[in-house]
Structure 1
Amino acid sequence: MGVDLGDILGRKKVSIEDLTGSWIAVDGFNTLYQFLSIIRQPDGTPLMDSSGRITSHLSGLLYRMTNLLESGIRVAFVFDGRPPELKAGTLAARAQMKETAEIQLQEAIATGAESFRYAQAATRINSEILCDSIRLLDAMGIPYVQAPSEGEAQAAFMAIRGDVDYVASQDYDSLLFGAPRVVRNLAITGKRKMPRKNVYIDIPPEVIVLEEELTRLGISREQLIDIGIMCGTDYNEGLQKVGPKRALKLIREHGCLEAVLDALGERIDNLQEIREIFLHPEVTESYDLRMKRPRIDEIIRFLCEERDFSEERVRKAAERLNASYRAGQSTLERWL
């Protein structure tokens, strides 16, 4: 889940229209998890084809991404590569949590109890889900980037270079990696049902502007990284009883994490190595962010013939996607 700095960072609610004309680097794994977690049957079962293959992520990619592209937004998916060695403990803990959730899910199904939250917690992205996602993105003409390591670091790098305007992620790690502007809730904008309640709430996009927040908080990006490390990241557990607000207070009082640790009599292993992951992550300059003409027949063949989607619905979405591509090309030509 990354570091949670939501208690100290301001977020501005925006509309989809406010993002029109922008290029957005989308955290691929983060977005697929959202689709797999949210696009489900009432009992928590994911959407599946007749062979039992999960299709929730494909539904999210086709319909929700088409909505964004139709609004004049251009997206590029960025997928994680090889994780840093310091992330091994976090990945092992996540795997254990999913195994526990799977056991609880089966028990809930057997007893007829509420199972939706366990189904969400047990969500996994396997190689088939990833390959199918990339196959659909390619057919839709949406560019994707394979990061050498952390996807959010790669997305932040692309934003720092000015190749994209925003990084889209539910996590706050992108800011620690230096992303100038982060947009949240991009893939789940609209009405969303509250867990275990028959209540729906509006989920608008939110934008966080890094420099504005650093100025407001009176800290540097390096100090924000130290705050994140105190709270706990994918690479360390953090300090006991230290959340974002207390971490901010400690940084303001002592200036840097080393001074904080001295004052508290604490230590964090691999501190400098963790900082380096955020300050100088492994990234690549080898990527192509051009939208391509969607291949409508291929989209229909894949989703309808192989994954049992409704041809009428898929064809309508694909035609909307093609229209948005043509509109984008016309706009580009006017500026050339």
Structure 2
Amino acid sequence: MGVALRPLIADYKEVLPWDRLGGIAAIDAFNALYQFLSGIRQPDGTPLMDEEGRITSHLSGLLFRTANLVEKNITPVYVFDGKPPKFKEATLAERRVIRENAKESWERAVKEGDEESARKYAMASSKVDAFILESSKELLTALGIPWVQAPEEGEAQSAYMAAVGDVTYAVSQDYDSLLFGAPKLLRNLTVSGKRRVNGKVVAVYPEQLLLDQVLGGLEMTQVDLIAAALLIGTDYNSGVKGVGPKTAVKLVKEGKFAERIGESENAADPEELIRYFLEPPVEKQYTIAKKAPVREKVVEILCEQHGFSEERVSAGLERLGSSKGQATLDSWFS
């Protein structure tokens, strides 16, 4: 879910056309997988599944939406979460309850024939489990798409890779990447080009946020922004009751952070949380390697194991440059 920074940074978002997005993208893998699992479903919310009942929505998303990025001269590098930090346990427990309740509501809506509600609840019940993680990494390896295993938070890892210049930008739907110091954050990169809002279908375009512009516009340091986020509430703390984004900024600028953060119901040490955002555990030894798809392995995974159409898989592989001399892949690292 991330921190509710939207009202503070709305003025600094820049909608970019696809032809300006070429580069290497460190993608929050969990974030992307949830998008695939939530969005790639049947009309009643049932996810794509193979004959054995294993979910395959994420595999479809990894192949076809990754191919879409490659065609637009974007090199995707998927970054996977590791072990969550201890102060995230309460948030994760809350999310499990929300998913379980949503699953029950979905099943009830399906029985009642309420397709619209069924799809809504189904999307909220999406879960990234061990099978989805293992099969995602296996497919990415076969596709020749780089991936990195973070020791803890994937967004922290992506932010580090962007900060040291190994990737062009961090990609996530959440704004936490800015708190972790990502100099450039891109949103809406792995989502579908359309989204349903209040019953209407609207177009969705990539959005860029530059950390320097955000901090300069708000007249804050990164530590100030982190402090404001802690007053609002993050995945690691509950925030202060009644304090929204604008009030949080005001309190930080007035030097009242230490005074007010004590009102938070969360027991986490705020100084420890600030240090975590500034110096999170990250993997510094990783390789973003150029590799060609192993066509036979991709076909084995998707077609033989999970029943995908070989014709569709072949079309996706061609978009990735698996034929005609690997021209598309070669352009990534030229």
Question: SS at the partner of 2:203?
Answer: strand
Unaligned runs of 5+ in 1: none
Aligned with 1:141 (options 140, 144, 159): 144
Question: SS at the partner of 2:320?
Answer: helix
2:223 alignment partner in structure 1: 222
Task: Note the 1:20-35 alignment, pairs <5 A.
Answer: 20=22, 22-35=23-36
Task: Note the 1:241-252 alignment, pairs <5 A.
Answer: 241-252=242-253
How far residue 331 of structure 1 moved from its aligned partner, in angstroms, is: 7.2
Q: Deviations over 1:112-146 (max 9, x none)?
A: 22211110111111111111111111111111110
2:119 paired with 1:116: yes
How far residue 233 of structure 1 moved from its aligned partner, in angstroms, is: 0.8
What letter is aligned with 2:191?
Answer: I
Q: Deviations over 1:75-104 (max 9, x none)?
A: 111001011111111111111111111111
2:314 alignment partner in structure 1: 315
How far residue 193 of structure 1 moved from its aligned partner, in angstroms, is: 3.3
Question: SS at the partner of 2:99?
Answer: helix
Equivalents in 1 of 2:128, 2:331: separation in Å?
A: 37
Q: 1:69 and 1:330, CA in 2 relative to 1: closer, same or farther beyond 3 A?
A: closer
2:280 paired with 1:281: yes
Alpha-carbon contact 2:44-2:119 (below 8 Å) kept: yes
Q: 1:268 and 1:309, CA in 2 relative to 1: closer, same or farther beyond 3 A?
A: closer
TM-score when normalising by structure 2: 0.93
How far residue 189 of structure 1 moved from its aligned partner, in angstroms, is: 4.6
Q: Deviations over 1:249-301 (max 9, x none)?
A: 2222x135214448xx6676311111111011011111101231111121112
Question: SS at the partner of 2:8?
Answer: coil
1:303 alignment partner in structure 2: 302
Q: Deviations over 1:170-214 (max 9, x none)?
A: 00111000000000000015123346x3x3211000000001110
How far residue 246 of structure 1 moved from its aligned partner, in angstroms, is: 1.6
Task: Note the 1:150-165 alignment, pairs <5 A.
Answer: 150-165=153-168
Q: 1:170 and 1:60, CA in 2 relative to 1: closer, same or farther beyond 3 A?
A: same
Aligned with 1:169 (options 168, 172, 182): 172
Q: 1:189 and 1:205, CA in 2 relative to 1: closer, same or farther beyond 3 A?
A: farther
Q: 1:135 and 1:305, CA in 2 relative to 1: closer, same or farther beyond 3 A?
A: same
What letter is aligned with 1:242?
Answer: V
Equivalents in 2 of 1:261, 1:103: separation in Å?
A: 37
Equivalents in 2 of 1:42, 1:307: separation in Å?
A: 21
Q: 1:48 and 1:194, CA in 2 relative to 1: closer, same or farther beyond 3 A?
A: farther
Alpha-carbon contact 1:72-1:328 (below 8 Å) kept: no
What letter is aligned with 2:88?
Answer: K
2:19 alignment partner in structure 1: 17
TM-score when normalising by structure 1: 0.93
Equivalents in 1 of 2:32, 2:330: separation in Å?
A: 26
1:6 alignment partner in structure 2: 6
Equivalents in 2 of 1:312, 1:67: separation in Å?
A: 17
How far residue 151 of structure 1 moved from its aligned partner, in angstroms, is: 0.7
Alpha-carbon contact 2:30-2:80 (below 8 Å) kept: yes
1:71 alignment partner in structure 2: 72
Alpha-carbon contact 1:170-1:184 (below 8 Å) kept: yes
Question: SS at the partner of 1:60?
Answer: helix
2:53 alignment partner in structure 1: 52
Q: 1:299 and 1:256, CA in 2 relative to 1: closer, same or farther beyond 3 A?
A: farther
2:196 paired with 1:193: yes
2:107 alignment partner in structure 1: 106
Identity of aligned residues (%): 45
How far residue 310 of structure 1 moved from its aligned partner, in angstroms, is: 1.1
Equivalents in 2 of 1:331, 1:144: separation in Å?
A: 15
Question: SS at the partner of 1:193?
Answer: strand
Q: Deviations over 1:204-242 (max 9, x none)?
A: 000000011100110110000001101111111001111
Equivalents in 2 of 1:141, 1:157: separation in Å?
A: 23
Equivalents in 2 of 1:266, 1:32: separation in Å?
A: 32
Equivalents in 2 of 1:259, 1:169: separation in Å?
A: 32
Question: SS at the partner of 1:87?
Answer: helix
How far residue 332 of structure 1 moved from its aligned partner, in angstroms, is: 4.7
Equivalents in 2 of 1:96, 1:277: separation in Å?
A: 26
